[in-house]
Structure 1
Protein backbone atom coordinates (compact mmCIF):
# COMPACT_ATOMS: atom_id res chain seq x y z
CA UNK A 1 0.00 0.00 0.00
CA UNK A 2 2.81 2.38 0.92
CA UNK A 3 4.27 2.00 -2.58
CA UNK A 4 0.89 2.67 -4.24
CA UNK A 5 0.31 5.74 -2.05
CA UNK A 6 3.74 7.07 -2.87
CA UNK A 7 3.04 6.77 -6.61
CA UNK A 8 0.56 9.60 -6.20
CA UNK A 9 2.84 11.84 -4.16
CA UNK A 10 4.40 14.74 -6.00
CA UNK A 11 8.09 14.15 -6.74
CA UNK A 12 10.36 15.32 -3.93
CA UNK A 13 12.83 18.05 -4.68
CA UNK A 14 14.90 20.38 -2.56
CA UNK A 15 17.15 23.37 -3.18
CA UNK A 16 19.15 22.59 -0.01
CA UNK A 17 22.83 23.58 -0.35
CA UNK A 18 25.80 21.65 1.08
CA UNK A 19 28.66 24.15 0.89
CA UNK A 20 31.38 23.37 3.47
CA UNK A 21 30.04 19.82 3.88
CA UNK A 22 32.09 16.69 3.22
CA UNK A 23 30.42 13.51 1.97
CA UNK A 24 31.73 9.95 1.67
CA UNK A 25 29.77 7.61 -0.65
CA UNK A 26 30.72 3.94 -0.92
CA UNK A 27 30.28 2.24 -4.29
CA UNK A 28 30.05 5.64 -5.96
CA UNK A 29 31.44 4.59 -9.33
CA UNK A 30 28.17 3.18 -10.66
CA UNK A 31 24.38 3.20 -10.36
CA UNK A 32 22.66 5.08 -7.56
CA UNK A 33 25.97 5.78 -5.80
CA UNK A 34 27.22 7.75 -8.78
CA UNK A 35 23.91 9.61 -9.16
CA UNK A 36 23.97 10.48 -5.46
CA UNK A 37 27.51 11.82 -5.90
CA UNK A 38 26.46 13.99 -8.86
CA UNK A 39 23.48 15.47 -6.99
CA UNK A 40 25.35 16.23 -3.75
CA UNK A 41 28.29 17.69 -5.72
CA UNK A 42 25.85 20.03 -7.50
CA UNK A 43 24.75 21.21 -4.04
CA UNK A 44 28.31 22.30 -3.28
CA UNK A 45 29.55 19.42 -1.10
CA UNK A 46 33.05 17.96 -1.24
CA UNK A 47 32.52 14.40 -2.50
CA UNK A 48 34.76 11.46 -1.66
CA UNK A 49 33.91 8.51 -3.90
CA UNK A 50 34.97 5.30 -2.16
CA UNK A 51 35.49 2.68 -4.89
CA UNK A 52 36.88 -0.84 -5.06
CA UNK A 53 38.00 -0.57 -8.69
CA UNK A 54 40.12 2.57 -9.04
CA UNK A 55 40.08 2.50 -12.84
CA UNK A 56 36.29 2.54 -12.94
CA UNK A 57 36.31 4.96 -10.02
CA UNK A 58 38.48 7.51 -11.81
CA UNK A 59 36.30 7.26 -14.94
CA UNK A 60 33.19 7.83 -12.79
CA UNK A 61 34.89 10.76 -11.02
CA UNK A 62 35.35 12.50 -14.40
CA UNK A 63 31.66 11.93 -15.10
CA UNK A 64 30.63 13.34 -11.70
CA UNK A 65 32.80 16.43 -12.24
CA UNK A 66 31.39 16.97 -15.77
CA UNK A 67 27.76 16.42 -14.74
CA UNK A 68 27.89 18.46 -11.55
CA UNK A 69 30.22 21.26 -12.63
CA UNK A 70 32.13 20.80 -9.36
CA UNK A 71 35.85 20.00 -9.22
CA UNK A 72 35.65 19.19 -5.51
CA UNK A 73 35.49 15.43 -6.06
CA UNK A 74 37.98 12.78 -4.93
CA UNK A 75 38.15 9.07 -5.67
CA UNK A 76 39.69 6.80 -3.03
CA UNK A 77 40.30 3.06 -2.86
CA UNK A 78 37.95 1.08 -0.61
CA UNK A 79 37.29 -2.66 -0.77
CA UNK A 80 34.50 -3.47 1.67
CA UNK A 81 35.33 -7.18 1.35
CA UNK A 82 38.67 -6.61 3.11
CA UNK A 83 38.98 -5.13 6.60
CA UNK A 84 42.60 -4.10 5.88
CA UNK A 85 41.39 -1.91 2.99
CA UNK A 86 38.59 -0.47 5.17
CA UNK A 87 41.08 0.40 7.93
CA UNK A 88 43.48 2.05 5.46
CA UNK A 89 40.67 4.09 3.92
CA UNK A 90 39.34 5.23 7.33
CA UNK A 91 42.85 6.09 8.51
CA UNK A 92 43.38 8.31 5.45
CA UNK A 93 40.01 10.06 5.94
CA UNK A 94 40.66 10.62 9.66
CA UNK A 95 44.11 12.02 8.88
CA UNK A 96 43.26 14.24 5.89
CA UNK A 97 39.67 15.37 6.44
CA UNK A 98 38.81 17.91 9.15
CA UNK A 99 35.14 16.88 8.98
CA UNK A 100 32.71 14.30 7.62
CA UNK A 101 29.11 15.47 7.55
CA UNK A 102 27.42 12.76 5.50
CA UNK A 103 28.34 9.09 5.16
CA UNK A 104 26.36 7.16 2.53
CA UNK A 105 26.81 3.40 2.98
CA UNK A 106 25.68 2.63 -0.56
CA UNK A 107 27.90 -0.15 -1.98
CA UNK A 108 26.47 -3.65 -2.14
CA UNK A 109 26.55 -7.08 -3.70
CA UNK A 110 23.38 -8.94 -4.61
CA UNK A 111 22.49 -12.64 -5.01
CA UNK A 112 26.04 -13.61 -5.92
CA UNK A 113 27.35 -17.19 -5.97
CA UNK A 114 28.76 -18.33 -2.60
CA UNK A 115 32.06 -16.68 -1.81
CA UNK A 116 33.92 -15.29 1.16
CA UNK A 117 35.51 -11.95 1.96
CA UNK A 118 39.19 -11.61 2.89
CA UNK A 119 38.08 -11.95 6.52
CA UNK A 120 36.11 -15.15 5.94
CA UNK A 121 32.59 -13.68 5.95
CA UNK A 122 29.98 -14.80 3.42
CA UNK A 123 30.27 -12.18 0.66
CA UNK A 124 26.82 -10.55 0.92
CA UNK A 125 26.68 -10.16 4.72
CA UNK A 126 30.41 -9.36 4.61
CA UNK A 127 30.20 -6.43 2.17
CA UNK A 128 26.65 -5.20 2.79
CA UNK A 129 26.75 -5.33 6.59
CA UNK A 130 30.14 -6.09 8.20
CA UNK A 131 32.10 -3.86 5.80
CA UNK A 132 29.85 -0.86 6.41
CA UNK A 133 29.64 -1.61 10.16
CA UNK A 134 33.43 -1.46 10.42
CA UNK A 135 33.72 1.62 8.20
CA UNK A 136 31.10 3.52 10.23
CA UNK A 137 32.74 2.47 13.50
CA UNK A 138 36.16 3.74 12.35
CA UNK A 139 34.77 7.09 11.13
CA UNK A 140 32.29 7.72 13.96
CA UNK A 141 34.47 10.07 16.04
CA UNK A 142 35.10 12.32 13.03
CA UNK A 143 31.37 12.22 12.15
CA UNK A 144 30.43 13.16 15.75
CA UNK A 145 32.87 16.07 15.72
CA UNK A 146 31.22 17.24 12.46
CA UNK A 147 27.65 17.25 13.85
CA UNK A 148 25.04 17.93 12.68
CA UNK A 149 25.85 14.89 10.55
CA UNK A 150 24.00 11.99 8.91
CA UNK A 151 24.69 8.32 8.25
CA UNK A 152 22.61 6.80 5.44
CA UNK A 153 22.60 3.07 4.72
CA UNK A 154 21.03 1.76 1.52
CA UNK A 155 18.94 -1.29 2.38
CA UNK A 156 16.11 -2.79 0.30
CA UNK A 157 12.52 -4.00 0.52
CA UNK A 158 14.23 -7.41 0.36
CA UNK A 159 14.97 -6.95 4.09
CA UNK A 160 11.40 -8.11 4.71
CA UNK A 161 11.86 -11.47 3.00
CA UNK A 162 14.06 -13.00 5.67
CA UNK A 163 15.08 -13.09 9.31
CA UNK A 164 18.56 -12.94 10.82
CA UNK A 165 20.14 -16.37 11.16
CA UNK A 166 22.64 -15.47 13.89
CA UNK A 167 23.54 -19.14 14.44
CA UNK A 168 24.81 -19.37 10.84
CA UNK A 169 25.44 -15.74 9.85
CA UNK A 170 27.94 -16.79 7.16
CA UNK A 171 25.61 -19.39 5.58
CA UNK A 172 28.17 -22.15 6.11
CA UNK A 173 25.57 -24.83 6.86
CA UNK A 174 23.44 -23.99 3.84
CA UNK A 175 23.49 -21.19 1.29
CA UNK A 176 20.54 -19.64 -0.47
CA UNK A 177 21.79 -16.54 -2.29
CA UNK A 178 18.44 -14.71 -2.15
CA UNK A 179 18.03 -15.44 1.55
CA UNK A 180 21.60 -14.32 2.25
CA UNK A 181 20.99 -11.08 0.34
CA UNK A 182 17.75 -10.48 2.21
CA UNK A 183 19.48 -11.15 5.56
CA UNK A 184 22.23 -8.63 4.72
CA UNK A 185 19.63 -5.96 3.90
CA UNK A 186 17.77 -6.69 7.16
CA UNK A 187 21.11 -6.25 8.93
CA UNK A 188 21.30 -2.74 7.37
CA UNK A 189 17.91 -1.81 8.90
CA UNK A 190 18.81 -3.23 12.33
CA UNK A 191 22.23 -1.54 12.25
CA UNK A 192 20.58 1.83 11.53
CA UNK A 193 18.21 1.38 14.51
CA UNK A 194 21.04 0.37 16.86
CA UNK A 195 23.21 3.24 15.69
CA UNK A 196 20.41 5.77 16.25
CA UNK A 197 20.09 4.70 19.90
CA UNK A 198 23.82 4.92 20.50
CA UNK A 199 24.07 8.34 18.86
CA UNK A 200 21.14 9.95 20.65
CA UNK A 201 21.98 13.49 21.68
CA UNK A 202 25.15 13.70 19.55
CA UNK A 203 23.60 15.56 16.60
CA UNK A 204 24.32 12.56 14.34
CA UNK A 205 21.23 10.97 12.80
CA UNK A 206 20.84 7.69 10.89
CA UNK A 207 18.56 6.45 8.11
CA UNK A 208 18.04 3.25 6.13
CA UNK A 209 16.13 3.10 2.87
CA UNK A 210 14.72 1.14 -0.04
CA UNK A 211 15.81 2.82 -3.29
CA UNK A 212 13.12 1.10 -5.37
CA UNK A 213 13.60 -1.58 -8.00
CA UNK A 214 16.47 0.02 -9.89
CA UNK A 215 18.16 -1.05 -13.13
CA UNK A 216 21.74 -1.43 -11.89
CA UNK A 217 24.86 -3.59 -12.18
CA UNK A 218 23.59 -5.52 -9.15
CA UNK A 219 21.43 -7.54 -11.52
CA UNK A 220 24.47 -9.21 -13.06
CA UNK A 221 24.23 -12.30 -10.82
CA UNK A 222 20.53 -12.97 -11.47
CA UNK A 223 19.81 -16.20 -13.32
CA UNK A 224 18.48 -16.10 -16.89
CA UNK A 225 14.76 -16.62 -16.06
CA UNK A 226 14.85 -13.92 -13.36
CA UNK A 227 16.70 -11.55 -15.71
CA UNK A 228 14.02 -12.16 -18.36
CA UNK A 229 11.29 -11.26 -15.84
CA UNK A 230 13.20 -8.13 -14.78
CA UNK A 231 13.48 -7.13 -18.44
CA UNK A 232 9.71 -7.49 -18.84
CA UNK A 233 8.99 -5.33 -15.78
CA UNK A 234 11.76 -2.83 -16.57
CA UNK A 235 9.30 -0.15 -17.78
CA UNK A 236 8.03 -0.08 -14.17
CA UNK A 237 11.47 0.04 -12.56
CA UNK A 238 13.50 3.11 -11.72
CA UNK A 239 16.53 4.55 -13.45
CA UNK A 240 19.65 5.02 -11.31
CA UNK A 241 18.83 8.71 -11.03
CA UNK A 242 15.31 7.99 -9.77
CA UNK A 243 16.68 5.28 -7.47
CA UNK A 244 19.11 7.75 -5.90
CA UNK A 245 16.36 10.17 -4.84
CA UNK A 246 15.64 8.58 -1.45
CA UNK A 247 19.37 8.49 -0.58
CA UNK A 248 19.55 12.19 -1.49
CA UNK A 249 16.35 12.91 0.49
CA UNK A 250 17.84 11.24 3.60
CA UNK A 251 21.07 13.20 3.11
CA UNK A 252 19.59 16.70 2.75
CA UNK A 253 15.91 16.95 3.75
CA UNK A 254 15.81 19.50 6.64
CA UNK A 255 12.68 17.97 8.24
CA UNK A 256 14.66 14.79 8.99
CA UNK A 257 17.01 16.68 11.33
CA UNK A 258 15.18 15.40 14.40
CA UNK A 259 14.40 11.94 12.99
CA UNK A 260 16.81 9.05 13.46
CA UNK A 261 16.82 5.28 13.01
CA UNK A 262 13.92 5.14 10.56
CA UNK A 263 13.37 3.42 7.23
CA UNK A 264 12.42 5.33 4.06
CA UNK A 265 11.17 4.67 0.55
CA UNK A 266 10.11 7.00 -2.28
CA UNK A 267 11.37 10.04 -0.32
CA UNK A 268 9.00 9.37 2.58
CA UNK A 269 8.93 7.36 5.82
CA UNK A 270 8.02 3.73 5.10
CA UNK A 271 7.13 0.67 7.13
CA UNK A 272 9.89 -1.86 7.64
CA UNK A 273 9.17 -5.47 8.55
CA UNK A 274 8.54 -6.62 12.14
CA UNK A 275 11.99 -8.27 12.03
CA UNK A 276 13.45 -4.86 11.16
CA UNK A 277 12.12 -3.46 14.46
CA UNK A 278 13.35 -6.28 16.69
CA UNK A 279 15.65 -4.52 19.16
CA UNK A 280 16.67 -7.77 20.86
CA UNK A 281 18.00 -9.18 17.57
CA UNK A 282 19.47 -5.77 16.71
CA UNK A 283 21.48 -5.83 19.95
CA UNK A 284 22.64 -9.42 19.33
CA UNK A 285 23.70 -8.51 15.80
CA UNK A 286 25.60 -5.47 17.14
CA UNK A 287 27.44 -7.57 19.74
CA UNK A 288 28.23 -10.28 17.20
CA UNK A 289 29.48 -7.72 14.66
CA UNK A 290 31.84 -6.18 17.23
CA UNK A 291 33.09 -9.63 18.21
CA UNK A 292 33.60 -10.83 14.62
CA UNK A 293 35.39 -7.62 13.63
CA UNK A 294 37.49 -7.64 16.84
CA UNK A 295 36.15 -4.24 17.89
CA UNK A 296 35.82 -3.30 21.52
CA UNK A 297 32.06 -3.19 22.04
CA UNK A 298 31.91 0.55 22.60
CA UNK A 299 28.48 2.05 22.82
CA UNK A 300 29.89 4.99 20.85
CA UNK A 301 29.18 7.31 23.77
Structure 2
Protein backbone atom coordinates (compact mmCIF):
# COMPACT_ATOMS: atom_id res chain seq x y z
CA UNK A 1 0.00 0.00 0.00
CA UNK A 2 3.01 2.32 0.31
CA UNK A 3 2.98 2.59 -3.47
CA UNK A 4 -0.53 4.07 -3.77
CA UNK A 5 0.59 7.71 -3.66
CA UNK A 6 -0.51 9.44 -6.84
CA UNK A 7 -2.47 6.49 -8.16
CA UNK A 8 -6.10 6.78 -9.24
CA UNK A 9 -8.77 4.38 -7.98
CA UNK A 10 -12.38 4.14 -9.12
CA UNK A 11 -14.57 2.46 -6.49
CA UNK A 12 -18.17 1.71 -7.40
CA UNK A 13 -20.60 1.99 -4.50
CA UNK A 14 -18.01 3.89 -2.45
CA UNK A 15 -20.54 5.81 -0.34
CA UNK A 16 -21.10 3.01 2.19
CA UNK A 17 -19.98 -0.38 3.49
CA UNK A 18 -16.95 -2.07 2.00
CA UNK A 19 -16.55 0.53 -0.74
CA UNK A 20 -16.38 3.36 1.79
CA UNK A 21 -13.91 1.50 4.00
CA UNK A 22 -11.66 0.77 1.02
CA UNK A 23 -11.87 4.42 -0.04
CA UNK A 24 -10.74 5.52 3.44
CA UNK A 25 -7.69 3.27 3.34
CA UNK A 26 -6.70 4.13 -0.22
CA UNK A 27 -7.09 7.86 0.48
CA UNK A 28 -4.98 7.57 3.64
CA UNK A 29 -2.26 6.01 1.50
CA UNK A 30 -2.25 8.85 -0.97
CA UNK A 31 -4.44 7.53 -3.77
CA UNK A 32 -6.83 9.76 -5.67
CA UNK A 33 -10.32 8.32 -5.21
CA UNK A 34 -13.21 8.45 -7.65
CA UNK A 35 -16.42 7.60 -5.80
CA UNK A 36 -18.64 6.16 -8.52
CA UNK A 37 -22.08 6.25 -6.93
CA UNK A 38 -25.73 6.19 -7.94
CA UNK A 39 -26.75 8.83 -5.36
CA UNK A 40 -24.29 11.72 -5.55
CA UNK A 41 -25.73 13.35 -2.41
CA UNK A 42 -24.79 10.25 -0.42
CA UNK A 43 -21.46 10.24 -2.21
CA UNK A 44 -20.76 13.83 -1.15
CA UNK A 45 -21.70 12.97 2.44
CA UNK A 46 -19.27 10.04 2.36
CA UNK A 47 -16.59 12.30 0.87
CA UNK A 48 -17.06 14.79 3.73
CA UNK A 49 -16.85 11.94 6.24
CA UNK A 50 -13.41 11.02 4.94
CA UNK A 51 -12.24 14.63 4.71
CA UNK A 52 -13.21 15.17 8.36
CA UNK A 53 -10.42 12.80 9.37
CA UNK A 54 -8.09 13.30 6.42
CA UNK A 55 -7.89 16.87 5.14
CA UNK A 56 -5.40 15.85 2.47
CA UNK A 57 -7.64 13.21 0.89
CA UNK A 58 -8.19 13.59 -2.85
CA UNK A 59 -11.75 12.47 -3.59
CA UNK A 60 -14.05 13.16 -6.50
CA UNK A 61 -17.70 12.07 -6.58
CA UNK A 62 -19.10 11.01 -9.96
CA UNK A 63 -22.53 9.65 -10.83
CA UNK A 64 -22.78 6.04 -11.94
CA UNK A 65 -25.96 3.97 -12.12
CA UNK A 66 -24.92 0.40 -12.94
CA UNK A 67 -28.53 -0.51 -13.71
CA UNK A 68 -28.51 1.89 -16.68
CA UNK A 69 -26.04 1.22 -19.50
CA UNK A 70 -26.35 4.80 -20.75
CA UNK A 71 -25.22 5.99 -17.30
CA UNK A 72 -22.28 3.55 -17.43
CA UNK A 73 -21.30 4.95 -20.83
CA UNK A 74 -21.69 8.55 -19.63
CA UNK A 75 -19.56 7.90 -16.54
CA UNK A 76 -16.79 6.30 -18.58
CA UNK A 77 -16.83 9.10 -21.15
CA UNK A 78 -16.70 11.73 -18.41
CA UNK A 79 -13.83 9.96 -16.67
CA UNK A 80 -11.82 9.61 -19.88
CA UNK A 81 -12.33 13.31 -20.58
CA UNK A 82 -10.83 14.20 -17.20
CA UNK A 83 -8.14 11.55 -16.65
CA UNK A 84 -5.60 9.82 -18.87
CA UNK A 85 -4.81 6.80 -16.66
CA UNK A 86 -6.50 4.34 -14.28
CA UNK A 87 -4.56 2.30 -11.72
CA UNK A 88 -7.37 0.58 -9.83
CA UNK A 89 -10.93 -0.28 -10.82
CA UNK A 90 -12.82 -1.72 -7.86
CA UNK A 91 -16.07 -3.31 -9.06
CA UNK A 92 -17.67 -3.25 -5.63
CA UNK A 93 -21.27 -2.00 -5.83
CA UNK A 94 -24.08 -4.50 -5.63
CA UNK A 95 -27.72 -5.16 -4.86
CA UNK A 96 -28.84 -8.20 -2.91
CA UNK A 97 -32.12 -10.14 -3.03
CA UNK A 98 -34.56 -7.39 -4.09
CA UNK A 99 -38.10 -8.18 -5.19
CA UNK A 100 -38.25 -9.04 -8.88
CA UNK A 101 -37.48 -5.99 -10.95
CA UNK A 102 -35.60 -5.01 -14.09
CA UNK A 103 -32.95 -2.49 -15.03
CA UNK A 104 -33.62 0.36 -17.44
CA UNK A 105 -32.32 -1.89 -20.22
CA UNK A 106 -34.62 -4.79 -19.32
CA UNK A 107 -32.19 -7.04 -17.44
CA UNK A 108 -33.03 -8.75 -14.15
CA UNK A 109 -31.83 -6.20 -11.57
CA UNK A 110 -29.15 -8.26 -9.81
CA UNK A 111 -27.58 -9.77 -12.94
CA UNK A 112 -27.92 -6.44 -14.73
CA UNK A 113 -26.39 -4.29 -11.98
CA UNK A 114 -23.93 -6.61 -10.26
CA UNK A 115 -22.52 -8.22 -13.40
CA UNK A 116 -23.52 -6.56 -16.67
CA UNK A 117 -23.07 -3.02 -15.36
CA UNK A 118 -19.55 -3.77 -14.15
CA UNK A 119 -18.77 -5.74 -17.32
CA UNK A 120 -19.72 -2.73 -19.44
CA UNK A 121 -17.87 -0.31 -17.16
CA UNK A 122 -14.67 -2.34 -17.37
CA UNK A 123 -14.95 -2.59 -21.14
CA UNK A 124 -15.41 1.16 -21.54
CA UNK A 125 -12.41 1.87 -19.29
CA UNK A 126 -10.18 -0.82 -20.84
CA UNK A 127 -8.21 1.66 -23.00
CA UNK A 128 -6.98 3.44 -19.86
CA UNK A 129 -6.33 0.21 -17.97
CA UNK A 130 -4.19 -1.04 -20.85
CA UNK A 131 -2.04 2.09 -20.93
CA UNK A 132 -1.52 2.25 -17.14
CA UNK A 133 1.35 0.05 -16.06
CA UNK A 134 0.41 -2.33 -13.22
CA UNK A 135 -3.29 -1.50 -13.33
CA UNK A 136 -5.68 -3.84 -11.53
CA UNK A 137 -9.35 -4.69 -11.75
CA UNK A 138 -10.84 -6.12 -8.54
CA UNK A 139 -14.34 -7.62 -8.73
CA UNK A 140 -16.39 -8.42 -5.63
CA UNK A 141 -17.86 -11.89 -5.54
CA UNK A 142 -19.45 -13.63 -2.56
CA UNK A 143 -19.62 -16.88 -0.65
CA UNK A 144 -23.04 -17.09 -2.31
CA UNK A 145 -21.38 -18.11 -5.58
CA UNK A 146 -20.87 -21.61 -4.17
CA UNK A 147 -23.13 -24.05 -5.95
CA UNK A 148 -24.64 -21.36 -8.15
CA UNK A 149 -25.13 -21.78 -11.90
CA UNK A 150 -25.60 -19.40 -14.81
CA UNK A 151 -29.08 -20.06 -16.18
CA UNK A 152 -28.61 -18.81 -19.73
CA UNK A 153 -32.24 -19.70 -20.56
CA UNK A 154 -33.65 -17.45 -17.84
CA UNK A 155 -31.22 -14.59 -17.27
CA UNK A 156 -34.06 -12.05 -17.13
CA UNK A 157 -36.10 -14.04 -14.61
CA UNK A 158 -39.23 -14.17 -16.77
CA UNK A 159 -39.39 -17.97 -16.38
CA UNK A 160 -39.28 -17.78 -12.60
CA UNK A 161 -37.45 -15.69 -10.04
CA UNK A 162 -35.99 -16.51 -6.63
CA UNK A 163 -34.11 -13.55 -5.11
CA UNK A 164 -31.26 -15.50 -3.48
CA UNK A 165 -30.78 -17.79 -6.47
CA UNK A 166 -30.41 -14.79 -8.76
CA UNK A 167 -28.08 -13.04 -6.31
CA UNK A 168 -25.88 -16.14 -6.23
CA UNK A 169 -25.92 -16.27 -10.03
CA UNK A 170 -24.78 -12.65 -10.23
CA UNK A 171 -21.92 -13.28 -7.78
CA UNK A 172 -20.80 -16.35 -9.73
CA UNK A 173 -20.86 -14.15 -12.83
CA UNK A 174 -18.61 -11.61 -11.06
CA UNK A 175 -16.10 -14.36 -10.29
CA UNK A 176 -16.20 -15.87 -13.76
CA UNK A 177 -15.74 -12.43 -15.29
CA UNK A 178 -12.73 -11.65 -13.09
CA UNK A 179 -11.06 -14.95 -14.01
CA UNK A 180 -11.80 -14.66 -17.72
CA UNK A 181 -10.62 -11.04 -17.82
CA UNK A 182 -7.28 -12.03 -16.33
CA UNK A 183 -6.88 -14.86 -18.86
CA UNK A 184 -7.38 -12.38 -21.67
CA UNK A 185 -4.98 -9.85 -20.16
CA UNK A 186 -2.33 -12.56 -20.13
CA UNK A 187 -3.26 -13.91 -23.56
CA UNK A 188 -2.58 -10.50 -25.11
CA UNK A 189 0.54 -9.81 -23.05
CA UNK A 190 -0.97 -6.93 -21.09
CA UNK A 191 0.47 -5.74 -17.79
CA UNK A 192 -2.96 -5.37 -16.15
CA UNK A 193 -4.21 -7.85 -13.56
CA UNK A 194 -7.75 -8.97 -12.77
CA UNK A 195 -8.60 -10.46 -9.38
CA UNK A 196 -11.71 -11.46 -7.45
CA UNK A 197 -12.40 -11.24 -3.75
CA UNK A 198 -15.20 -11.65 -1.24
CA UNK A 199 -15.75 -10.08 2.20
CA UNK A 200 -16.93 -13.17 4.03
CA UNK A 201 -20.23 -12.32 5.67
CA UNK A 202 -20.12 -8.61 6.32
CA UNK A 203 -22.65 -6.36 8.06
CA UNK A 204 -23.23 -3.83 5.29
CA UNK A 205 -26.15 -2.01 3.69
CA UNK A 206 -26.78 -5.04 1.48
CA UNK A 207 -28.77 -6.42 4.41
CA UNK A 208 -32.08 -4.68 3.87
CA UNK A 209 -35.73 -5.67 3.96
CA UNK A 210 -37.12 -4.54 0.64
CA UNK A 211 -36.43 -0.81 0.63
CA UNK A 212 -36.24 -0.62 4.42
CA UNK A 213 -33.15 -0.99 6.59
CA UNK A 214 -32.87 -4.02 8.81
CA UNK A 215 -34.51 -3.58 12.25
CA UNK A 216 -32.19 -2.12 14.91
CA UNK A 217 -32.11 -5.32 17.00
CA UNK A 218 -31.13 -7.38 13.97
CA UNK A 219 -28.46 -4.83 13.09
CA UNK A 220 -26.99 -5.23 16.59
CA UNK A 221 -26.93 -9.01 16.22
CA UNK A 222 -25.38 -8.68 12.75
CA UNK A 223 -22.56 -6.48 13.99
CA UNK A 224 -21.83 -8.85 16.87
CA UNK A 225 -21.57 -11.97 14.74
CA UNK A 226 -20.70 -10.80 11.25
CA UNK A 227 -17.58 -9.24 9.81
CA UNK A 228 -17.64 -5.43 10.31
CA UNK A 229 -17.28 -3.41 7.09
CA UNK A 230 -13.69 -2.35 7.82
CA UNK A 231 -12.68 -6.02 8.12
CA UNK A 232 -14.87 -6.97 5.18
CA UNK A 233 -12.93 -4.47 3.07
CA UNK A 234 -9.54 -6.11 3.75
CA UNK A 235 -9.79 -8.72 0.94
CA UNK A 236 -10.53 -5.87 -1.49
CA UNK A 237 -7.54 -3.88 -0.24
CA UNK A 238 -5.30 -6.97 -0.34
CA UNK A 239 -6.37 -7.85 -3.90
CA UNK A 240 -5.78 -4.28 -5.02
CA UNK A 241 -2.34 -3.81 -3.50
CA UNK A 242 -0.44 -6.98 -2.60
CA UNK A 243 2.67 -7.17 -4.83
CA UNK A 244 2.87 -10.98 -4.66
CA UNK A 245 -0.40 -11.47 -6.55
CA UNK A 246 -0.08 -12.28 -10.23
CA UNK A 247 -3.71 -12.07 -11.40
CA UNK A 248 -6.59 -14.53 -11.38
CA UNK A 249 -6.53 -15.08 -7.62
CA UNK A 250 -9.60 -15.18 -5.37
CA UNK A 251 -9.13 -13.51 -1.98
CA UNK A 252 -11.27 -13.99 1.12
CA UNK A 253 -11.12 -14.07 4.95
CA UNK A 254 -9.00 -16.76 6.62
CA UNK A 255 -11.46 -17.71 9.38
CA UNK A 256 -13.76 -20.71 9.69
CA UNK A 257 -15.81 -21.13 6.55
CA UNK A 258 -14.13 -18.01 5.15
CA UNK A 259 -16.83 -15.98 6.91
CA UNK A 260 -14.56 -13.73 9.02
CA UNK A 261 -10.90 -12.93 9.49
CA UNK A 262 -7.93 -11.53 7.65
CA UNK A 263 -7.38 -11.83 3.89
CA UNK A 264 -5.81 -14.87 2.31
CA UNK A 265 -5.98 -16.87 -0.90
CA UNK A 266 -9.29 -18.69 -1.18
CA UNK A 267 -10.40 -21.46 -3.54
CA UNK A 268 -13.44 -20.82 -5.71
CA UNK A 269 -16.21 -23.40 -5.75
CA UNK A 270 -16.08 -25.93 -8.60
CA UNK A 271 -18.97 -24.04 -10.23
CA UNK A 272 -16.46 -21.29 -11.08
CA UNK A 273 -14.13 -23.65 -12.92
CA UNK A 274 -16.11 -24.37 -16.08
CA UNK A 275 -14.19 -22.65 -18.90
CA UNK A 276 -17.00 -23.21 -21.40
CA UNK A 277 -19.50 -21.43 -19.16
CA UNK A 278 -16.97 -18.65 -18.59
CA UNK A 279 -16.49 -18.07 -22.31
CA UNK A 280 -20.22 -18.24 -23.00
CA UNK A 281 -20.94 -15.75 -20.22
CA UNK A 282 -18.41 -13.37 -21.79
CA UNK A 283 -19.98 -13.68 -25.23
CA UNK A 284 -23.52 -13.25 -23.87
CA UNK A 285 -22.42 -10.25 -21.81
CA UNK A 286 -20.93 -8.58 -24.88
CA UNK A 287 -24.14 -9.23 -26.80
CA UNK A 288 -26.42 -7.91 -24.06
CA UNK A 289 -24.41 -4.78 -23.29
CA UNK A 290 -23.11 -4.07 -26.78
CA UNK A 291 -19.65 -3.53 -25.24
CA UNK A 292 -16.73 -5.23 -26.96
CA UNK A 293 -13.35 -5.55 -25.27
CA UNK A 294 -10.33 -4.67 -27.41
CA UNK A 295 -7.18 -6.22 -25.94
CA UNK A 296 -5.05 -5.85 -29.04
CA UNK A 297 -3.25 -2.54 -28.50
CA UNK A 298 0.29 -2.41 -27.16
CA UNK A 299 0.64 -3.16 -23.43
CA UNK A 300 1.44 -0.48 -20.87
CA UNK A 301 5.08 0.62 -20.86
Match of 2:126 among 136, 140, 145: 140
Match of 1:261 among 248, 271, 276: 248
Question: 5 Å matches for 1:175-214?
Answer: 175-200=161-186, 201-214=189-202
- The unaligned stretches of length 5 or more in structure 2 are 254-262
Determine if contact 2:200/2:252 at 8 Å carries over to the other structure: yes
Within 1, Cα distance between the matches of 2:86 and 2:229? Answer: 25
Counterpart secondary structure, 1:291: helix
Match of 1:68 among 46, 54, 58: 54
Within 1, Cα distance between the matches of 2:18 and 2:56? Answer: 18
Structure 1 position 223, deviation (Å): 11
Matched, 1:281 2:277: yes
Aligned twin of 2:103: 117
Within 1, Cα distance between the matches of 2:77 and 2:293? Answer: 20
Matched, 1:95 2:81: yes
Structure 1 position 26, deviation (Å): 0.2
Aligned twin of 2:157: 171
Within 2, Cα distance between the matches of 1:95 and 1:278? Answer: 38
Structure 1 position 254, deviation (Å): 1.2
Counterpart secondary structure, 2:277: helix
Counterpart secondary structure, 2:250: strand
Within 1, Cα distance between the matches of 2:218 and 2:250? Answer: 27
The Cα offsets for residues 148-170 of structure 1, whole Å up to 9 and x where unpaired, read as 11000111010114111011111
- Normalised by the size of structure 1, how large is the TM-score? 0.89
Counterpart secondary structure, 2:237: helix
Structure 1 position 231, deviation (Å): 5.7
Aligned twin of 1:57: 43
Counterpart secondary structure, 1:194: helix
Structure 1 position 68, deviation (Å): 3.4
Structure 1 position 232, deviation (Å): 4.3
- The unaligned stretches of length 5 or more in structure 1 are 1-14
The Cα offsets for residues 164-199 of structure 1, whole Å up to 9 and x where unpaired, read as 101111111000000000000000010011100111
The Cα offsets for residues 97-120 of structure 1, whole Å up to 9 and x where unpaired, read as 021000000000001111100100
Aligned twin of 2:256: none
Determine if contact 1:155/1:209 at 8 Å carries over to the other structure: yes
Within 1, Cα distance between the matches of 2:182 and 2:24? Answer: 27
Counterpart secondary structure, 2:66: coil
Within 2, Cα distance between the matches of 1:19 and 1:232? Answer: 38
Structure 1 position 130, deviation (Å): 0.2
Determine if contact 1:61/1:75 at 8 Å carries over to the other structure: yes
Within 2, Cα distance between the matches of 1:40 and 1:253? Answer: 13
Within 1, Cα distance between the matches of 2:182 and 2:141? Answer: 16
Counterpart secondary structure, 1:153: strand
Structure 1 position 65, deviation (Å): 2.0
Within 2, Cα distance between the matches of 1:230 and 1:47? Answer: 29
Determine if contact 2:85/2:132 at 8 Å carries over to the other structure: yes
How many residues are matched?
284
Within 1, Cα distance between the matches of 2:179 and 2:43? Answer: 31
